[in-house]
Amino acid sequence: MIRRFLALIVVLGLVVAAVYYWKYRPGTPPLDASDFDDVGRTVREGVGEVGQTLRDTKITAAVKAALELNRTVEPHDVDVSTEGGVVTLRGTVPDAAVVSEAEKVAAAVPEVGQVVNHIRVGAGSERPPPGADRTLGENIDDQKLEMQVRLAFSLNRELKGSDVGVKAFRRQVALNGRVVDEAQRRAAIETAAQVPDVAGVMDQLQVGGAPAAVPATPAAVPATPAAVPATPAAGGAAAAEQALAAHPSLGGYGLEVREEGGRLVVDGTVRTPVEKELAGHVAERAAKSEVENAIRIQP
């Protein structure tokens, strides 16, 4: 296709050179009507070829998009080329069902006049597993998006008591874990979908609470006052610090939680404001009390 386009440019250049030669070269006979007809015909043919090339490029892009939107064909590498409205498919797939499905999908694309199927059945046709070809920038963007979605969940009272996991891959967010009821499931999906830069939400949530814990017998309840925390903050610092250390997005920062004058303070450094806010909410949730956020941002 590229060779045809370059050839067309050469033809048009020769036509322009010929017109210039006949018009300005001394002693050259003037152009007659047949000469102009030849030039016009050549130009029309050239323009027609350019138009067909553009149409073929558009068809190729449309067929590729259709194949990528088909769950049977998408995991496999199928090459697409178009010439004169005729689409040619090439590649290797694991079974004949994929060959048939690829041809069916390509033939259904508008403006496709014919499909020539050269796809072979063989091994080694699957694409690399998701994430194998991601750049460092894409990984960082996905991690940032996960933190933003988790922060949005922590700021939504409807999601209190839920256990929702978040995993992002190229702006597609998958939600997994357990929610209390259907209303909480909808709230999680809607909240995630409203976060900027989220392109789509995949629902893998389970509805229903975990089995209730067996109530402790009176004998199991501490009888001495010494077993009861002296202040609301007692033990909260340790719980908050453990939660921060175990968090997948915050564990590497080594954040500290300490008690000062009856209140809890979370301290340390993170890279982004989103991480700072997330750390504060994680600490408060674990400590079950208000926490002063003294974290510093150090990009």
Between CA 68 and CA 56 the distance in angstroms is 18
Instruction: Classify residue 257: in a domain, yes or no.
Output: yes
Instruction: Classify residue 284: in a domain, yes or no.
Output: yes
pLDDT at 82: 92
Element (H, E) at 270: strand 269-270
Q: What's the domain range around 73? A: 2-121
Instruction: Say whether both 25 and 104 belong to one domain.
Output: yes
Instruction: Say whether both 191 and 243 belong to one domain.
Output: no
Instruction: Classify residue 220: in a domain, yes or no.
Output: no
Model confidence band, residue 114 (pLDDT cutoffs 50, 70, 90): very high
Element (H, E) at 5: helix 2-24
Instruction: Say whether both 286 and 178 belong to one domain.
Output: no
Instruction: Classify residue 153: in a domain, yes or no.
Output: yes
Instruction: Classify residue 239: in a domain, yes or no.
Output: yes
Q: State which amino acid sits at residue 232.
A: P
Is the per-residue pLDDT at 88 higher than 90? Answer: yes
- Strands in 94-143 per DSSP E: 114-121
User: Smallest Cα–Cα separation from 89: which of 110, 101, 103?
Assistant: 103
Please give the average per-residue pLDDT across 74-96, as a whole number: 90
Please give the average per-residue pLDDT across 242-249, as a whole number: 80
Give burial (CB, 10 Å; 0-12/13-18/19+) of 167.
middle
Average pLDDT, the chain: 76
The dihedral region occupied by 197, where left means phi > 0, alpha psi between -120 and 50, and beta the remainder, is left
Is the pTM higher than 0.75? The answer reads no
pLDDT at 17: 63
Instruction: Classify residue 181: in a domain, yes or no.
Output: yes
Segment 204-229, tens digit of pLDDT: 888 875 443 434 433 333 433 444 34
Instruction: Say whether both 141 and 101 belong to one domain.
Output: no
Instruction: Say whether both 41 and 17 belong to one domain.
Output: yes
Residues 6+ apart with CB under 8 A from 233: 259, 262, 263, 264, 287, 289
Is the per-residue pLDDT at 191 higher than 60? Answer: yes
Count CA atoms closer than 13 A to 269's CA, side-chain side.
Answer: 4
C-beta of residue 109 within 8 angstroms of C-beta of residue 68: no
Instruction: Classify residue 226: in a domain, yes or no.
Output: no
Instruction: Say whether both 50 and 107 belong to one domain.
Output: yes
What CATH number is attached to the domain comprising 284?
A: 3.30.1340
Instruction: Say whether both 184 and 285 belong to one domain.
Output: no
Instruction: Say whether both 38 and 107 belong to one domain.
Output: yes
Residue with tokens 């988790």: 150
What CATH number is attached to the domain comprising 109?
A: 3.30.1340.30
Number of domains within the chain: 3
Phi, psi of 166 (to 5 degrees): -125, 130
Instruction: Say whether both 79 and 19 belong to one domain.
Output: yes
pLDDT at 288: 81
C-beta of residue 157 within 8 angstroms of C-beta of residue 184: no
pLDDT at 278: 80
Instruction: Say whether both 19 and 105 belong to one domain.
Output: yes
Element (H, E) at 290: none
- Lowest mean pLDDT: which of 20-29, 61-70, 210-219, 249-258? 210-219
Instruction: Classify residue 259: in a domain, yes or no.
Output: yes
User: Smallest Cα–Cα separation from 57: which of 68, 65, 46?
Assistant: 65
Between CA 194 and CA 273 the distance in angstroms is 19
Domain end marker among 87, 121, 155: 121
Give the 3-state secondary structure percentages of the chain, helix then strand then coil, rounded to 5.
Answer: 45, 20, 30
- Angle (CA) 78-81-85 rounded to 5° is 130
Instruction: Say whether both 76 and 146 belong to one domain.
Output: no
Segment 123-163, tens digit of pLDDT: 655 555 545 555 667 778 888 889 888 888 888 888 876 78
